[in-house]
Amino acid sequence: MMKHSKLLILLLILAVFGGIGLGAQERIVIGGRSSMMLADAVYLFPGAGKRIVAYARGDQGLGNFITAIDPNFKNNVSFDRNAGAEVYASFKPDLVILKSAMMGQLKAPLDALGIRQLYLTLETPEQYYEDIGALGKVLGDERRGAEVVSWFASHEAKIVARTSKLGVNQKPRVLVARISTSGEASWQVPPDSWIQTIMVERAGGQAVWKDANPGSGWATVTLEQIAAWNPDYVFIIDYRENSSKGAEAFRKDGRFASLKAVKSNTVFGFPQDFYSWDQPDTRWILGFTWLAKRIQPELFADISVAQTTRDFFSFMYGLDESAFRSLILPKIQGDLGEQF
């Protein structure tokens, strides 16, 4: 009797925490903001994409990665990312996957409707490892989740093992800035807690904007502030166009002519394919690898961004060399610094 009670308790715990996977016919809806990042995470699990029946519209202007690797994805119903609980209920979902930022808006009404939810944060490497593990549990494929986490963690650890030994004087001053073109071009920096800041520091650089943006989103900085920081490297992000153009515009702006980065020609556009590699999409590990090679070129001379990129799309999404060349390679842009 005691054994049966313990087993029942264990099953209840697994059910509460998502340990019991979804059945093959269950219906998944991906909603809210950053739905593309959530979809990219779900598609790390073979066959899981077929369970998606509806998703929140939105891409960043460079195309939709999922429709490229799964043409059937576009047949799913799309809806507004700000939709209310009633819209989600209309799809009769067995599971709704959302970013954690949507919890305050949707958890209570979805709970009231009896709709199961999974919230993923996906903002830092550590959160990525935790969330992919949680996703593997709820999808009934914990083994794949563990494999994906191991791939990410081992690649990150290989870089951090070297940069963690650097002294402060060995770490160049780095600025990561997003170009904003609403009206006159301006430059924005991310908060300290975001993955862009974390990547710079773990890649062997000093984030010059640290402590300048205590908020929860991108903050515009003045030209005078950038001049005062006088970074050794500048990395430009553009989510809607080729980032190389933004980097070129920065270099040619006479107001930045005296910057160390401009004088040494170390202003680069962050790599992109369908999405920029700087953000907490599955591609963050590619951006991290590229950033480390740019900031500490001698330290990572043995690491190939091109090969890492091929390995990533092969392991994560099952794309062979032919598929990589036809689907991914034509989309890659930014200042890669390597032949692909």
Final residue before a domain boundary, out of 101, 124, 155: 155
Is the domain of 240 the same as that of 265?
yes
Closest by CA to 249, choosing from 333, 307, 180, is 180
pLDDT exceeds 90 at position 119: yes
Contact criterion met (CB below 8 Å) for 221 and 253: no
Mean pLDDT for 304-327 is 97
Backbone angles phi, psi at 127, to 5 degrees: -65, -35
pLDDT exceeds 70 at position 2: no
Is the domain of 224 the same as that of 147?
no
Is the domain of 147 the same as that of 177?
no
Is 116 among the domain residues? Answer: yes
Is the domain of 81 the same as that of 171?
no
Is the domain of 251 the same as that of 142?
no
Domain that holds residue 265: 166-331
Q: In a 10 Å sphere around its CB, with 0-12 CB exposed, 13-18 middle and 19+ buried, how is residue 133 labelled?
A: middle
48-101 confidence digits (pLDDT tens): 999 999 999 877 888 899 999 999 998 899 999 999 999 999 999 999 999 999
Is the domain of 110 the same as that of 173?
no
Is 19 among the domain residues? Answer: no
Per-residue pLDDT at 183? 55
Is 119 among the domain residues? Answer: yes
Is 265 among the domain residues? Answer: yes
Is 261 among the domain residues? Answer: yes
If you average pLDDT over every residue of the chain, what do you get? 90
Mean pLDDT for 254-262 is 96
Mean pLDDT for 266-290 is 97
Band (pLDDT 50/70/90 cuts) for residue 313 is very high
Final residue before a domain boundary, out of 100, 131, 155: 155
pLDDT exceeds 80 at position 17: no
Residues contacting 184, CB < 8 A, separation 6+: none
Q: How far apart are CA 217 and CA 77, in angstroms?
A: 30
pLDDT exceeds 80 at position 7: no
Is 14 among the domain residues? Answer: no
Q: How many domains does the chain have?
A: 2
Is the domain of 325 the same as that of 177?
yes
* DSSP per residue, 255-269: GGTTSHHHHTT-EEE
Band (pLDDT 50/70/90 cuts) for residue 281 is very high
User: How many H-runs (helices) and E-runs (strands) does the chain carry?
Assistant: 14, 11
Band (pLDDT 50/70/90 cuts) for residue 19 is very low
Hey, which of 52-61, 118-127, 208-217 has the most confident mean pLDDT? 118-127
Q: How far apart are CA 95 and CA 137, in angstroms?
A: 13
Final residue before a domain boundary, out of 102, 120, 155: 155
99-118 confidence digits (pLDDT tens): 999 999 999 999 999 999 99
Is 5 among the domain residues? Answer: no
Per-residue pLDDT at 5? 44
CATH number at residue 221: 3.40.50.1980
